[in-house]
Structure 1
Amino acid sequence: MLLVLSLLAVTLITLDSRGVGVFDGIRGAAGDVFAPVGDAFAWVTTPVRNAWGGVSDYEDLEAENERLRERVAELEGNEDKAANAIEQLKRIQEQLNLGFVGDVPLQVARVASGPYSNFDSFRMEIDKGSDAGLAVGMPVVANAGETGGGLVGRLERVSRTRSVVQLATDPDFGIGVRLASTQDVGFGHGGGDSDRFVVDKGIEIGDPIQPGEVVLTSGLENSVMPPDIPVGTVDKASPNGSTGLQVLLVNYAVDFSQLDVVQVMKWTPQR
């Protein structure tokens, strides 16, 4: 049977190739007969073919979406960098408006680290040193927005490109102070973890002290600080009966937890 069918197929192919006319009619009639079937088959398989095309196109769409997502992330990153640069510029510009420094030259510096070490929480490091003209003992100040800024501390150690600042919060940080309204002179020191500067010498019990009184550096002869740097404002005044003096608790003019840009006053005590 297989041999007969094969011979028949070869015979028909040979006759068709020689252009026998009868085959043209048969081929046309078969086309007309089976055309609806072919159309129906194409219609039925269209979803399948579309689905297959969708599968093949899906990978291209995924790749394009991934590329677009990467581009969006890149643009968002650039936007964040630009916003950060603008904020840094704003903070530096704020530091240039310290009215109490007079004609003392200033050096802007960024805070390079928080506490200098885990064992000494009253120190911080800045990114400028002797190469920028800094020296031990120079006052460090900062702007504090509407309050006009105030005292941060003083340089304790200086290398070529870094300096360590002793903060005004250190209990061992002692300076002469002056009350802005009464001009009374006293002496105070950092309050440590209490977050308030303590004035415990020089202010007598009879001196009237009001909450909100501005406390400045005294700037007296041989003082370790120039005059009129704001230290803070009086929060509370309490009499000390054993000494006949008042103890003033002073809120600092700057927020030490928010420091990122400071200025060093290129001022050294007159000996």
Structure 2
Amino acid sequence: MYDKKVIRRRRAALAVLLGLSLILLTAYFGESPSGVLHGVQRGAQQVLAPVESGASKAFKPFSDLFNWVGDAFGAKGQNKKLKKELAATRAQLAAAQSALRENQQLRAMVGLPRRPGFPQGTNPVAARVIARSPTDWYSTISIDKGSSDGIHPDQPVVTGDGLVGKIESATHGTAQVTLITDASSAVSAQIMPDGSSGILRPAVGDPSDLQLDFIQKGRQIKKGQAVVTSGFQSSGLQSLFPRGIPIGRVRTANPSEIQTYQRVHVQAYADFGRFDYVQVLTARPPGVQAASVGVGP
């Protein structure tokens, strides 16, 4: 235990120091700026100024380091926040663009049957594309409607732009579509308005190049003319595709490719790599439909 005398001496010294401090403060604030205590203060500042300046310079790197570390942590946190906000904005933008694209496709499909010459009474069933063939040719797709929705093999499949293929097979809830860009595809088609008919197939090695063969030479085929399904009927045989479904426009005609006939290159209306919705024409139109010039988009 501490000696009581030592404790009393320390308390006495503390009391004396407090008293002197009070006296000096009272005297300092009571005297004029030219007084003794103010002069002592100015002298002490002059003496200690170099020491203070040197200490400030010596500790400045450490101060800057601490400030940099604090700013770095603050910037890192702010960066994470900005990244989250940017990711959320991108997701919202992607969702908005997807919704706009889907809306445009659905509106186009609704408007397709209203075009002049399009076959009526086909009972279209809308479906969503759920899978595509894993090749660069986009030869087949799968849709989310099947036999329970009235979908069966060989029924035509269209988008808002025009013909894209036919049903190859169907299960209860899904179906597979063979596109007209597939090597096995062949569509009876005609050029409007003169009615020149032929068979439309994809070019070997280039499915984007649709070729309309067996067009008689001498026919004046012009770039931009509409190409539609011909929907022929002969001796009990009937085309899978009813007459008047838009396919595309004439890109070029080359009479020299085949001796007896001329070959017409067709640019399809549909973009086979970008559509998300289709319509399956589940019923055949009653009677024979007349094709019209106004079938293009």
- In structure 2, give the amino acid aligned to 1:250: V
- Contact 1:137/1:268, CA 8 A, preserved across alignment: no
Amino acid at match of 1:258: R
Map residues 112-127 of structure 1 onto 2, 5 A cutoff.
Answer: 112-115=130-133, 117-118=134-135, 122-127=139-144
Of the three residues 3, 9, 12, the one matched with 1:15 is 12
Give the Å deviation of 1:227. Answer: 0.6
2:194 to 146, 168, 182: 182
* Kept in 2: contact 1:215–1:230 (CA 8 A): yes
1:57 Cα deviation after fit: 7.0
> Structure 1 residues 58, 128: CA separation in 2 closer, same or farther (over 3 Å shift)?
same
Q: Distance in 1 between matches of 2:137 and 2:267?
A: 22
Report the counterpart of residue 32 of structure 2 in structure 1.
none
Equivalent position SS for 1:89: helix
Equivalent-residue separation in structure 2 for 1:126 and 1:192 (angstroms): 26
Q: Which residue is 2:149 aligned to? A: 132
SS at match of 1:90: helix
Give TM-score scaled by structure 1 length. 0.71
1:94 aligns with 2:111: no
Give how far 1:261 is off. Answer: 2.6
CA distance in 2, matches of 1:25, 1:181: 117
What's the Cα RMSD here?
A: 4.1
With the length of structure 2 as denominator, give the TM-score of the two structures.
Answer: 0.66
Structure 1, residues 146-193: CA drift from partner, whole Å, max 9, x if none? xxx221111101123322211112232122222221123333333343
Does the alignment pair 1:196 with 2:190?
Answer: no
Q: Is the 8 A contact 2:138 2:272 kept in 1?
A: no
Which residue in 2 is equivalent to 1:218? 230
Q: Which amino acid aligns with 1:133?
A: G
Q: In structure 2, give the amino acid aligned to 1:154.
A: K
Long gaps (5+) in structure 1: 1-5, 144-148
CA distance 1:208–1:26, change in 2 (3 Å): closer
Residues 20-169 of structure 1: pairs in structure 2 closer than 5 A:
25-29=19-23, 61=74, 65=78, 68-69=81-82, 70-98=84-112, 99=115, 100-115=118-133, 117-118=134-135, 122-143=139-160, 149-169=161-181
Q: Percent identity?
A: 22
Q: Write out per-residue CA displacement over residues 87-120 of structure 1, whole angstroms, 9 at most, x where no aligned residue.
A: 32223222222122534222222332332x5598
Letter in 2 for 1:65: Q
Q: Secondary structure at the match of 2:139?
A: strand
Question: What code does the residue aligned with 1:199 have?
Answer: L
> Aligned partners of 1:91, 1:188: CA distance in 2, in Å?
25
